[in-house]
Amino acid sequence: MLSESSGRKYSYLIIAVIACVIIISLPMMYGHFFHSGHLFYIAIHETGFILSSFLTMMALIAYKKTKITRMLFSSAAFGVIAFGQGEIMYQQMNEQVQMNLTNSGEILEYCVVAMTILFAVGIFYKQ
């Protein structure tokens, strides 16, 4: 009975987190609806943002249940990539002209490198 209650609590938490992430990311998407040819680009980043936010929360729940330190590194890695995806959407939000990927893509490149390092530390970390 206790396990079922705990599982339901985490399910509600995950649903609440996903709803909050979607609500937060809607204003970042709204500015892109009126740009021609820009919607697919931002949909990819929106999907990445939602997925990485979801995986951040799942890794934190896994850490809370198992107390394995590797889960904290996984959560941090997913959080870094969620930040990078959100930053790309935010930078491109009000840009009306042709996309300039050299300036806006740099933050995402740094986030991918940081995510890779955090995953590597999580994989090779020994307690």
Predicted confidence band of residue 35 (pLDDT cuts 50, 70, 90): low
Pair 59, 70: CB distance under 8 Å: no
Number of structural domains (the chain) is 1
Pair 56, 78: CB distance under 8 Å: yes
59-64: long-range pairs with CB below 8 Å, 24+? 61/10, 61/13, 61/14
Residue pLDDT, tens place only, 65-90: 899 888 999 999 999 999 998 888 77
Picking from 62, 80, 79, the residue whose alpha carbon sits closest to that of residue 71 is 62
Q: Which domain holds residue 114?
A: 2-124
Q: Exposed, middle or buried, 20 (CB in 10 Å: 0-12/13-18/19+)?
A: exposed
What pLDDT was estimated at residue 1? 44
